[in-house]
Amino acid sequence: QRRPSPQSPARLCEEEGLPDGLLRRRFGSLIWRVGADLQMSPTGTATAALYFQRFLLVAPSSGEEGFSTLRAAMSCVWLASKTLEEPQRLRDVANAFLALEARSAGRGAPVLEMEAYWALRDEVVWHEQVVLRAMAFDAEPTPAYALLAELGQVLCGAGEARGVPALA
């Protein structure tokens, strides 16, 4: 599989130069907006956001080794839609990302030509594998209620308060 060049024509988003925390917040927010735009289920969008944050935990900084944060975010949404069996077309995902990204930057939505789209598709497919590898192919995220139940158990370990985690 072809490894995309960081300078490929499909690289439409300026994302370098942002502090790590801001980058996470910006793309996390973007993923939620894209999820709403694509009418994905809240679980699907949350899964995509979780994939993205897990990826950023181990991925090198944006721009190195050809990684693109935007492509990774796209692949996270695409992958989550497949994991949860509510598939989205990659073209829709890409369009939503590019349009919302452009809107937040005060630009008009870019028109994705066919050639640019296929280049983008190659990149996203490659990024999808990068994301999966970064997550050690663990595509089944721990559900929120399990974490809440665990937290409840930690916080209410004794006495009458045990009822809370039991209820959870």
Cβ atoms of 126 and 15 within 8 Å: the answer is no
- Alpha carbon distance 168, 165 (integer Å): 5
Quick one: which of 121, 37, 135, 118 has its CA closest to 83? Answer: 135
How many C-beta neighbours within 10 Å does residue 1 have? 7
Query: In the complex, what is the shortest distance from the CB of residue 136 to another protein, in angstroms, rounded to a whole number?
Result: 8
Q: Which one, of 77, 55, 75, 48, lies nearest residue 133 by Cα?
A: 55
**Position 41 contacts another protein (CB under 8 A):** no
Residues 88-117 that bind another protein (CB under 8 A): 89-90
DSSP for 107-130 reads -PPPP--HHHHHHHHHHHHHHHHH
Please select the residue that binds another protein; options are 6, 9, 42, 87, rule is CB under 8 A: 87
> Of these, 10, 13, 100, 124, which contacts another protein (CB under 8 A)?
124
Q: Does 167 bind another protein (CB under 8 A)?
A: no
Q: Which is nearer to another protein, 85 or 160 (CB)?
A: 85
Q: Which residues contact 34 (CB under 8 A, 6 or more apart)?
A: 45, 77, 93, 96, 97, 100
Task: Give the residue carrying structure tokens 């994991």.
Answer: 83
Candidates 51, 52, 97, 126; binder of another protein (CB under 8 A) is: 126
Name which of 5 and 104 has its Cβ closer to another protein. 5
Chosen residue from 17, 21, 111, 138 binding another protein by CB under 8 A: 138
- Interacting residues with another protein (CB under 8 A): 1, 3, 55, 58-60, 65, 67, 75, 78-79, 82-83, 85, 87, 89-90, 121, 124-126, 128-130, 132-134, 136-140
